[in-house]
Amino acid sequence: MLRAARTQALSSSPIASMSEEPRETGPIDTDLLDRIAAHLARSDRFETVDSRPPYAPSAVVAAYQLGYFPNGVTRASLRIRWFETDDFSIQYLEEYHTGTTWACRWDRHPNGHNSREHVHPPPDASTPGLDAAFSDEWRAVITTVLGRLDERIEAFWQDD
């Protein structure tokens, strides 16, 4: 069972304002999104995991437990979109009490700025990104992304 979702309006969604890339990727794989949401809900990392919420009906949105972060971080979220073509977009966003953000994105989709598989690097998920290679298996992609984000979070505490 998925954790209870916080009710959020579109304007208050942590990742609603992020780029809507990828384009022209085919229909959303709703069955897979539900499996991804169930997978993420088993992790203690997340306070909430919402599968296709009203403010992001083509995505899974997971809000991190803020206890993993120093006090300056006010929100950290992951937004995953997966398509029937096996294209995807996985966006991560941290928000700070100063009003600044730190973001990155992992993508597989046709585009004019990089190879089909690429990463938009932090701190601002800039385009063009860096060409990359991802597994064909969704669990391996999610594991890779979560591993990179775990490294990011661990770095906060190693600097103290």
Range of the domain at 64: 23-155
Both tokens of residue 10?
């579109």
3 occurs within a structural domain: no
Task: Give rounded-to-5 percent helix, strand, coil for the chain.
Answer: 25, 30, 45
d(CA 128, CA 120): 7
pTM of the model: 0.83
1 occurs within a structural domain: no
5 occurs within a structural domain: no
Report the number of distinct structural domains present in the chain: 1
- Please write the tens of the pLDDT for every residue from 15-57: 434 444 445 678 999 999 999 999 999 999 999 999 999 999 9
Tens digit of pLDDT per residue, the chain (160 long)?
A: 333 333 333 334 444 344 444 456 789 999 999 999 999 999 999 999 999 999 999 999 999 999 999 999 999 999 999 999 999 999 999 999 999 999 999 999 988 888 889 999 999 999 988 899 999 999 999 999 999 999 999 998 885 5
d(CA 121, CA 126): 6
9 occurs within a structural domain: no
